[in-house]
Structure 1
Amino acid sequence: MTVGGSIVVRLADDSDAELISSWTRAAEVSQFWGGHEIPLDDVLAKYTGRRAPEVVSYVITESGQSVGYLQAWQGGERFGLDMFLSAEAQGRGIGSRTAHAMAVELTARGWTPLTVDPASDNARAIRAWRSAGFVPSGELGTDDGRTTQIMYFSAGEAAIQES
């Protein structure tokens, strides 16, 4: 899926495993994604397509360079997104644009309500998800022992410019 400009989202596969694992070595990623580096065996088991169709794994590219990971998941009546960008790709709007495009695509396929659950103390992620059109619900959750903020996609709330 082309997001716009030079950003493309493609299915992840085993050839991406080493890179995905390496991204989680950076504190900017691991502090909000499990708290530690994800070993290669775990990446192969969870982040390269083996959990489909319940969890679909993607790699985000910008100008042909792999810059992040995105997963779309479904469980019962709930649908959600999770994402991280490599430390070098953070702060450039890649996450917001990617999340918005993916959310529009998935809601058009009936994935509603579509949620995200960033850590409550991850202000950068909360701003990015808001910019992508996700609205805080006031509900709290827990993920990896951290308090999270449950947010729902509302296409009319997006603050980004589509290309």
Structure 2
Amino acid sequence: LDLLAGWFADPGFVEHWGGMPLARETVAAKYVGRRRPQVESLLVVADDEPVGYAQYWCAGPADGGLDLVLVAGARGRGLGPDAARALVRHVCGTLGWERVTVDP
């Protein structure tokens, strides 16, 4: 929770997420644990260090969407596309999705 709360309080981070800085309590309610059964929250990790947040959600039996944001120091290194590809492989290969929407 401390890691995510710090990230979501950072205006530079949430600018790429599409929102405003969030209080710790809001982060706990929205992004930690099971918010909704169809939403999975994940950390993006590179070289054993957390560098971002991702989530995917089911919209139907064979489709859904992805959201992904990286901390400033992780941007521009190809980690975002790598993380997105890994998520797409998971949701298509493991969950059987046929259609994936990525929220910019």
Please tell me the TM-score bracket, short chain as reference.
0.7 to 0.9
2:46 corresponding residue in structure 1: 62
Give the alignment's TM-score, normalised by structure 1: 0.56
Q: 1:87 aligns with which of 46, 60, 72?
A: 72
1:51 aligns with 2:35: yes
Q: 1:75 aligns with which of 31, 55, 59?
A: 59
The answer to whether the 8 Å contact 1:59/1:70 transfers is yes
Q: 1:112 aligns with which of 95, 98, 101?
A: 98
The structure that has the greater radius of gyration is 1
One-letter identity of the residue aligned with 1:83: L
1:33 aligns with 2:17: yes
User: 1:39-96 CA distances to partner (integer Å, 9 max, x unpaired)?
Assistant: 2112111212222531100011111211100101112364010010011111111111
Structure 2 runs not aligned, ≥5 long: none
The answer to whether the 8 Å contact 1:26/1:87 transfers is no
Structure 1 runs not aligned, ≥5 long: 1-16, 119-163
**1:110 shift after superposition:** 1.3
**1:111 shift after superposition:** 1.8
Say what the alpha-carbon RMSD is for the aligned residues.
Answer: 1.7
| Secondary structure of 2:20's aligned partner | coil
| Secondary structure of 1:24's aligned partner | helix
One-letter identity of the residue aligned with 1:95: G
